[in-house]
Structure 1
Amino acid sequence: MSGRLQPDAAPAATELTELTELTEPTEPTEPKGTPEPALSIAGVAERAGVSVATVSRVLNGHANVRAATRERVMAAVESCGYRVNELARNLRTAESRLLLTMVPDFGNPFYAEIVRGIDSVARQHGYFMLLCDTGADPGRERSYFDLLRRRRADGAICLDPATVQQALADESVSLPWVACCEFDARVGVPYVGIDNYRAAGDAVRHLLARGHTKIALINSDEHYLYAQQRERGYLDALADAGLTPRDAWRVNLNCLDYEAGARAAAALAQLDDPPTAIFAVSDTLAIGVLNGLRSVGRRVPADIAVVGFDDITLAAQVDPPLTTIAQPMRELGETAARLLLKRLAEPQASVPGVLLPHRLVVRQSA
């Protein structure tokens, strides 16, 4: 949007209609003497210090309201106990005000802050978010996309593997969805993520700068595009240093579980020629690595250094605290939601992909 926002004006005819969609408080209060009259829409506006038209715009998710104003209005509405009559509005506008967030693994804490970011922006714009567990299964993904086709949801944010996205692209590229974290720019769908190749290279170069030349990689499912990109970053950083890793130092897993990381690390540590450092492509794997090394009597970082990826909350709490690549998780979610809302507001507009910055967080594990 360009230019300055216009000051609050008189409500349009459609806005006046929308004002009738406020209902009484959802839970009646106990009477205390003479009952207080229900607060009118004008009272909500007065409490928030805005016009009646502004209250209408906020409740109907219009974009041309300042964030601070939107927050004041929603606080006033909530304090009054009012809610929007969603059914009446949806029948009139053919909007559900519902956004889907498709996550391949609820058990991975990496997704939690991303989901919070999506939900925060969705709520600011009058949308609800439905969290969908796809299990990275194209069939389950299609069932959620059917909600878009039937107008049961307005848009979707997909965190599933790029292979799943590619399978859906031909039939779903015209639907309003964006890719978050895991994306393939060739699919032609708006996306937000980080430069996984460069981030992995930064992790390996940190280990090289610490004097390590025997650096192992514990990777996840190679069906994920990020896993392919991080492996290339690892290999190219070593090649630039004139090093070629042993095949035995490259482990591919089909999951991101703590236990899988622990088993892989224990096996690496007991090789005849073990690595002196391990780069794991997620913090969940890396935290498992710490436990696996401890189980076979290896000290971190004295015997084997460890670097993870993501900077989940637990990374700073383990022993030793984990050196890792930090992703801006909440910002990833917020940006994905804004891209989707832009696509909904301007269906014909070209919505570009966005790469957000990462950073190396140095702690005691490497």
Structure 2
Amino acid sequence: MRSAVSIAQVAKHAGVSVATVSRVLNGNQAVKELTRARVAASVQAMGYRVNQLARSLRTDESRLLLTMVPDIGNPFYAEIVQGIDSVLQDNGYSLLLCETGGDANRERRYFDLLEARRADGAICLDPDTVQQALHSHGIGFPWVACCEFDSSVAVPYVGIDNRAAAHEATSYLISQGHTRIAFVNSDTRFMYARERLCGYADALAQAGIELNSDYCLEVDSLNFSAGRKAADMLMALAKRPSAVFAVSDTLAIGVMRGLQVAGLQIPGDMAVMGFDDIALAEQTCPALSTVRQPMRALGEQAAYLLLKQLDDATTPVTGVVLPHRLVLRESA
């Protein structure tokens, strides 16, 4: 087994002092470009790896950032995490992916890592975690709310205009002649769920369509099985809707499967609209019409916001709202 390369060995290989190698590795700009390139070449040639634990003990900086997600298996979060990781890697940070599962004890353990300075900051994608953090006092570490946020609270955030996106999706269904449109939502404790419900209601009101409470379903998660249950609820209605709009693609795909098992044709018997535009959306049969969130860009912007805080704690709090897009396929 190959032994670890020391910083002294790198210095000897590059023909410079240990102090110079250390300055290069720590991003010190007071090193000539030619010397910096020579040290970088030696680091690459010898396979030197920074001992992050030792570094954190010296600098009180771990170079480790947490990303908290409720469900690692949800493809929506996977693409956002890829965007976060690409930016962090380019800036010399490592990412620790933390699945919270809506478990308060897990969330507390992750917060403990931050408070103990074993990680430098966090990006929160879990609505539960975001809500807990937004309403907590005395949080002393840098963090960014991604997707779920509250613009009235002084915390950097990145997301989309959920209300406008839901309005656009519902208006499209109305333009296709649908007046009986069901809405499959998740927990309205969360901002995105409330905002999407408002957008749906706005579009109905604008078209002069009365909101039917029987068509407003709330399920306990965003996954496929919750969508299947929602389909059963729709099938049990005395007067079925002609279209359904779900607040996530995984929900919408579950709805489609449930309707197909019940013998309905999509979109002939019931049109289906999703939200997110995960990769699987265009692979379903029929392909799913949906609202596209710029998932990778959401992750990248969240990472940039967090890095700004780490570079300068006095950086003004900002929020970034990215554009959404309606993607029309076969299901609606």
TM-score using structure 1 length: 0.80
CA separation of 1:59/1:275 partners in 2, compared to 1, >3 Å: closer, same or farther? farther
**1:24 partner amino acid:** V
Match of 2:224 in 1: 258
1:119 aligns with 2:85: yes
Match of 1:13 in 2: none
Stretch moving more, 79-88 or 102-111:
79-88
Match of 1:194 in 2: 160
Give me the whole-angstrom Cα distance separating, in 2, the residues matched to 1:79 and 1:338.
Answer: 30
Q: 1:102 aligns with which of 56, 65, 68?
A: 68
Cα deviation for residue 171 of structure 1 reads 2.5
Cα deviation for residue 140 of structure 1 reads 2.5
Match of 1:15 in 2: none
Cα deviation for residue 166 of structure 1 reads 4.4
* Secondary structure of residue in 2 paired with 1:325: strand
Q: 2:112 aligns with which of 142, 146, 154?
A: 146
Cα deviation for residue 343 of structure 1 reads 0.4
Identity %: 58
1:24 aligns with 2:5: yes
* Secondary structure of residue in 1 paired with 2:101: coil
Give me the whole-angstrom Cα distance separating, in 2, the residues matched to 1:202 and 1:302.
Answer: 21
* Secondary structure of residue in 2 paired with 1:186: coil
CA separation of 1:135/1:269 partners in 2, compared to 1, >3 Å: closer, same or farther? same
Match of 2:103 in 1: 137
Cα deviation for residue 76 of structure 1 reads 7.9
Cα deviation for residue 326 of structure 1 reads 0.5
Q: 2:257 aligns with which of 287, 291, 296?
A: 291
Give me the whole-angstrom Cα distance separating, in 2, the residues matched to 1:116 and 1:271.
Answer: 41
Match of 2:170 in 1: 204
Cα deviation for residue 39 of structure 1 reads 6.1
List alignment gaps of at least 5 residues for structure 2.
31-35
Cα deviation for residue 351 of structure 1 reads 2.7
Give me the whole-angstrom Cα distance separating, in 1, the residues matched to 2:149 and 2:23.
Answer: 34
CA separation of 1:266/1:124 partners in 2, compared to 1, >3 Å: closer, same or farther? same
* Secondary structure of residue in 2 paired with 1:234: helix
Q: 1:240 aligns with which of 186, 206, 209?
A: 206
How do 1:256-335 and structure 2 match up within 5 A? 256-335=222-301
* Secondary structure of residue in 1 paired with 2:107: helix
How do 1:34-73 and structure 2 match up within 5 A? 43=14, 59-60=25-26
1:327·1:359 contact (CA, 8 Å) conserved in 2? yes
Stretch moving more, 338-347 or 174-183:
174-183
Give me the whole-angstrom Cα distance separating, in 1, the residues matched to 2:15 and 2:44.
Answer: 10
2:248·2:276 contact (CA, 8 Å) conserved in 1? yes
What are the Cα deviations for residues 61-119 of structure 1, in whole angstroms up to 9, with x where unaligned? 6799xxxxx9xx98984564121122332222110000001111222111001111111
2:107·2:129 contact (CA, 8 Å) conserved in 1? no
CA separation of 1:103/1:62 partners in 2, compared to 1, >3 Å: closer, same or farther? farther
List alignment gaps of at least 5 residues for structure 1.
1-22, 26-37, 46-51, 65-69
1:173·1:189 contact (CA, 8 Å) conserved in 2? no
Give me the whole-angstrom Cα distance separating, in 2, the residues matched to 1:302 and 1:173.
Answer: 52
Match of 2:33 in 1: none
Stretch moving more, 269-278 or 293-302:
269-278
2:10·2:43 contact (CA, 8 Å) conserved in 1? no
1:342·1:351 contact (CA, 8 Å) conserved in 2? no
1:218·1:252 contact (CA, 8 Å) conserved in 2? yes
Cα deviation for residue 60 of structure 1 reads 3.1
1:61·1:126 contact (CA, 8 Å) conserved in 2? no
Give me the whole-angstrom Cα distance separating, in 1, the residues matched to 2:43 and 2:158.
Answer: 33
Q: How many residues align?
A: 320
**2:154 partner amino acid:** G
Aligned-residue CA RMSD (Å): 2.8
Give me the whole-angstrom Cα distance separating, in 1, the residues matched to 2:186 and 2:47.
Answer: 47
Q: 2:189 aligns with which of 223, 227, 232?
A: 223
CA separation of 1:112/1:118 partners in 2, compared to 1, >3 Å: closer, same or farther? same
CA separation of 1:24/1:217 partners in 2, compared to 1, >3 Å: closer, same or farther? same
What are the Cα deviations for residues 30-60 of structure 1, in whole angstroms up to 9, with x where unaligned? xxxxxxxx76587599xxxxxx97x867743
Cα deviation for residue 215 of structure 1 reads 0.4
What are the Cα deviations for residues 320-344 of structure 1, in whole angstroms up to 9, with x where unaligned? 0000001011111111111001001
Give me the whole-angstrom Cα distance separating, in 2, the residues matched to 1:232 and 1:322.
Answer: 23
Cα deviation for residue 143 of structure 1 reads 2.1
Give me the whole-angstrom Cα distance separating, in 2, the residues matched to 1:360 and 1:178.
Answer: 26
Cα deviation for residue 163 of structure 1 reads 7.2
CA separation of 1:100/1:188 partners in 2, compared to 1, >3 Å: closer, same or farther? same
Give me the whole-angstrom Cα distance separating, in 2, the residues matched to 1:308 and 1:74.
Answer: 48
**1:272 partner amino acid:** A
Stretch moving more, 295-304 or 76-85:
76-85
